[in-house]
Amino acid sequence: MASVKQFQVTFDCAEPALVARFWCDALGYVPPPSLEGYAPQPGVQGPASAWCSDPTGVGPRLYFQRVPEGKVVKNRVHLDIRVGTGLVGDARVAALEAECARLIPLGATRVRLLVADEENESCLVMQDVEGNEFCLD
């Protein structure tokens, strides 16, 4: 059996270009040429799909596809943005809060801070521009 060399994460969404642009900005990924300069316009549907990729080639490609139905329940899979790795306590929370403050102007929504307990360090739950949950970890 061949081993897997690469994978992509696929998002179902209403506006692929809008969601792709958010994740490019959030992760420092690069958009395909078709998204360069793209700005969503109210009432005008953009492309049926979009993607973004890690410029270093290390992270997975993120693919966004338009679907007719809206999001109705919590994600079963979500991304964690690892901004607090190696930090604990107040230093970790400060790093999470700083990244949260950077992402909100990009269209993210803060949901809640999960404070550290005996088993887990603190993390901050957020949503992207279409309400997909992700964590700052």
pTM of the model: 0.85
Task: Divide the 137 residues of the chain into consecutive groups of 10 and give the mean pLDDT of each group.
Answer: 79 92 95 67 71 93 91 87 94 97 97 93 96 95
Q: Which pLDDT score, from 0 to 100, does residue 33 have?
A: 74
Task: Assign 3-class secondary structure to the chain.
Answer: CCCCCCCEEEEEECCHHHHHHHHHHHHCCECCHHHCCCCCECCECCCCEEEEECCCCCCCEEEEEECCCCCCCCCCCCEEECCCCCCCHHHHHHHHHHHHHHHHHHCCEEEEEECCCCCCCCEEEEECCCCCEEEEC
Q: In the prediction, which pLDDT does 106 show?
A: 96
pLDDT on residue 42: 58
- Res 114: pLDDT: 96
Q: Does domain 8-66 have CATH number 3.30.720?
A: yes
pLDDT (0 to 100) of residue 54: 95
The full set of domain ranges for the chain reads 8-66, 79-136
pLDDT at 73: 84
